A and B are shown apart, each in its own frame.
Chain A
Amino acid sequence: MKQSAVIAWRNIWRNKRRTLITGAAIAFSSAILIFFIGLQLSSYSAAIQATTSIFQGHLQIMLPAYNEEGEIRDTFQHAETLREKLLRVDGISDIAPRAEGFAILSSASRTFGAKILGVLPEQERNLSTIPGLMKSGTYLSSPTAKELVLGKTLARNLKVEVGDEVTLLGQGKDGSTAAALLTVKGIFESGSLDLDRALLEIPLGTFREVFSLGHLQDNEAHLFAARVNHIMQTEKVVDRLNHNFRSAEAELEAYTWDQITPGLKQAIELDMASGWLFYLSLIVIVVFGVLNTFLMSILERTKEFGMLLALGMNPKSIVSLILLECVLLLCVGIIPGIALGAGILYYFHIYGFSIPGTEEAMKMWNLPSAIHPEITLLNLSLGPSILFLLAVVLIIPFVLRIFKLEPLEAMRAV
């Protein structure tokens, strides 16, 4: 093996210029792949983070029936006790109970429909960015106050300002009429058009009272929204919850952010597909360059392979030697490429990457104006690994021709 590695390494440097040019092409494309993949994955991460942090959390826990039908009657009890237990589950950093309903809202001059969210203000501050996105007024003050906060579009539609009163009219859990007169405590601007147009938050205690969610001591809620320590752990935590927690506690089921908001995942997948079209084009071009270099090198050495076969070398050993040369040639490009790519990623990780003129658009989508790509093993290895594997796989059929080589014919090759 050592001898083969020595021969393979020296063989790739027989034509230094050709190897350097091929290596440079591999290095350059690897660095480009690392940078763009890193940027793309980090922008998805930022988009997911932004979306989940506004309101929905990384995961939600609820009764399966509520997830399917969204009926107000599908509540669970003892939310506070459950919360304490859930907080002890490995991976969960924050968790808060919520109740949801729909109601007609009336101001002095307008009527609109909206989603009503019952929240515990203190717990919500750790989970959602809405308490910090108040455009005017302040966030909810206590779990039982007769107040509300609403999105700026909804406020504009209702023509209300901080201090105004809004009448809420809906249906309670028991079928009774849910009605209340609440004061506007604050108006938020989340950056999400949907939330700003159709979300209204009230204290959870008030919600339970207005929508008749059982007795106060029952602590009923529709769901828990939770954050995990790192978004990449979401699935693991959800599995953990569904395997270890569900059987013991109230038939609740946990759902990941993408199960709750499949649209975001689909948008990411669509964007990823177009990104990969570019990456694969780049990879294919580079792989053809590598193939060209390699086939030249194989054809030039047909006579030498014939000599090796004549001396009694096993064709398998020759094939292994050539594949080892291919791997080394790829490494000559990929290793500096990864170093270069990591350097570029590191620079933008520190200073951020932004396209001039897009800051406003990014802000509108609640995204940071600059992306700070992460330096992860995945970002560093994904592109170069695909390039490496594709090159090796495409070279194999050419290398296998060695098995058909007759020593005498090969030695006579020009």
Chain B
Amino acid sequence: MIGQIELQDVTRTYTQGEETIHALHHATLTLEPGEFTTFYGPSGSGKSTALNIIGGLDLPSSGKVLVGDASLTEMTRSERADFRLHHIGFVFQAYNLIPVLSAIENVEFIMQLQGITGDERKERAASVLKQVGLSGMELRRPGELSGGQQQRVAVARAIASNPELVLADEPTANLDSTTSEALIELMLELNETYKSTFIFSTHDPLVMKSAHRLIELKDGQIISDSNKEVA
């Protein structure tokens, strides 16, 4: 288990021409293992930046990021890549599946990079696809699936190797409300089953309604952080 996730006084600045933009400004927070957390706020508030920094896809300009005992800010590029591969599952807004691979091959792909052997990999991929409701569609390629189905494949890919942390960047942005709801229910179920930590960035009220913890961002600053009672 990777344990707690800590952002310690994290700032991320970008320069655009002569202007300095604070995508994240002195953000400090702690996320407990197994939490279902959502970053929300308007566009440009720093949701995606926070997610990218927690996932080791981006580095803060200052501050420290600790994921369990590991300090992402002190890792090399390849160590971060390895950390992502073995501990984090990603769900992107634009699905980002490999177009030449079928649904099951997409799910297997990460497991293969992790070195999981053939039969076990196939079994797990088929089981996860069944779990996300894509039984019978294993051999379809992304181009033959609807947006909702593709996002389900992306979720299946993210959770197939039981990562301790799943990061989802606006996963419902391109989906209709019914599909979004089904997807959120699925992720809640997976959170319950695998006890993985789920962190979302969104401005979808449906996602916010389902989250256990809501962290509001504005202009790169955390302006509210509320925990809901979980039934």
Chain A residues with CB under 8 Å of chain B are 3, 6-7, 10-11, 14, 303-304, 307-315, 317, 407-408, 411
Contact = CB atoms under 8 A, between A and B. Distances in A.
B57 A310 contact: yes
A3 B100 contact: no
A11 B82 contact: no
28 contacts: A3-B105, A3-B108, A6-B101, A7-B98, A7-B101, A10-B100, A14-B99, A304-B98, A304-B99, A307-B92, A307-B96, A309-B81, A310-B55, A310-B57, A310-B92, A311-B84, A312-B83, A312-B84, A312-B86, A312-B110, A312-B113, A313-B113, A314-B78, A314-B81, A407-B57, A408-B57, A411-B92, A411-B96
Contact of B90 (A303, A304, A310): A310
Interface string B75-87: 0001001111110
A405 to B, nearest CB: 11
Nearest to A301: B99
B112 interface: yes
B82 to A, nearest CB: 7
Contacts of A303: 96
Interface in B97-111: 98-101, 105, 108-110
A289 B204 CA distance: 47
Contacts of A7: 98, 100-101
Q: Is the interface of A mostly helix, strand, loop or mixed?
A: helix
A2 to B, nearest CB: 9
A408 B58 contact: yes
A11 B100 contact: yes
A14 B92 CA distance: 23
A10 B109 CA distance: 15
A313 B77 CA distance: 12
Contacts of A307: 92, 96
A73 to B, nearest CB: 77
Contacts of B92: 307, 310, 411
B113 A317 contact: yes
Nearest to A316: B78
A3 B88 CA distance: 22
Interface centre among A6, A10, A315 (most CB of B within 10 A): A10
A312 B82 contact: yes
Contacts of B85: 311-313
B4 interface: no
B52 interface: yes
Q: Is the interface of B mostly helix, strand, loop or mixed?
A: helix
Given A3-B109, A308-B98, 9 more contacts: A14-B99, A304-B99, A310-B92, A311-B90, A311-B113, A312-B110, A317-B113, A408-B57, A411-B92
Contacts of A312: 81-86, 88, 110, 113
Interface centre among B81, B88, B109 (most CB of A within 10 A): B81
B50 to A, nearest CB: 13
Nearest to B118: A2
Nearest to A408: B57
A317 B108 CA distance: 16
Contacts of B88: 312
Contacts of B86: 312
A303 B93 CA distance: 13
Contacts of A408: 52, 57-58
B184 to A, nearest CB: 22
A399 B52 CA distance: 26
B78 to A, nearest CB: 7
A11 B86 CA distance: 26
Contacts of A314: 78, 81, 113
A330 B182 CA distance: 46
A375 B101 CA distance: 41
B63 to A, nearest CB: 18
A311 B100 contact: no
Interface centre among B82, B99, B100, B105 (most CB of A within 10 A): B100
A308 to B, nearest CB: 8
Nearest to B109: A3
Contacts of B58: 408
Contacts of A311: 84-85, 90, 110, 113
A3 B112 contact: yes
A79 B174 CA distance: 95
A100 B99 CA distance: 78
Contacts of B98: 7, 304, 308
B135 to A, nearest CB: 23
A7 to B, nearest CB: 6
Interface centre among A304, A311, A317 (most CB of B within 10 A): A311
A226 B98 CA distance: 66
Interface centre among A11, A303, A310, A313 (most CB of B within 10 A): A310
